[in-house]
Amino acid sequence: MTNKEQQYTSTLTVEEKHLACNIGSGNLRVLGTPMMMALMENAAMKAVENDLDDSQSTVGGFISASHIKPTGIGHTITATAKLAEVDGRKLTFKVSASDEDGIIGEGEHIRFIINKEKFISKV
């Protein structure tokens, strides 16, 4: 794993199943914060997956993000994760999410490189 600024952008079109009122995070028909954060995590995972060997994966360990603007059904969300720091197995990303009108959230996400077999054996 290098410390170069790797990045990836994941995309989602907001559907009924992503709304706060349908996932239990609120009672309004807007994108639920957990869905925005999941898209941020997905972008971080994808940013580094090609640098891992077949026995490895990454798992989320921490995420802190603002959700500053609502997004309605039918809109497209993009989440971008940029690898900011590598400290052994710990990967720190700067994450942001946008819709057609601009930034809707931003924050930091930490993932850890793990051995898949060893990790699953703990379940």
106 is catalytic: no
Are 32 and 39 in contact by the 8 Å Cβ rule? The answer is no
Catalytic residue, candidates 18, 41, 71, 80: 41
Q: Of the listed 67, 71, 80, 109, which one is catalytic? A: 67
Pairing state between β 7-13 and 56-67: unpaired
**Known catalytic membership, residue 41:** yes
Catalytic residue among 33, 75, 92, 108: 33
- Does the annotation mark 18 as catalytic? no
Write the DSSP assignment of the chain as a string of letters. ---S--EEEEEEE--GGGBHHHHTS-SSSSB-HHHHHHHHHHHHHHHHGGGS-TTEEEEEEEEEEEE-S---TT-EEEEEEEEEEEETTEEEEEEEEEETTEEEEEEEEEEEEEEHHHHHTT-
Q: Which residues are identified as catalytic?
A: 33, 41, 67
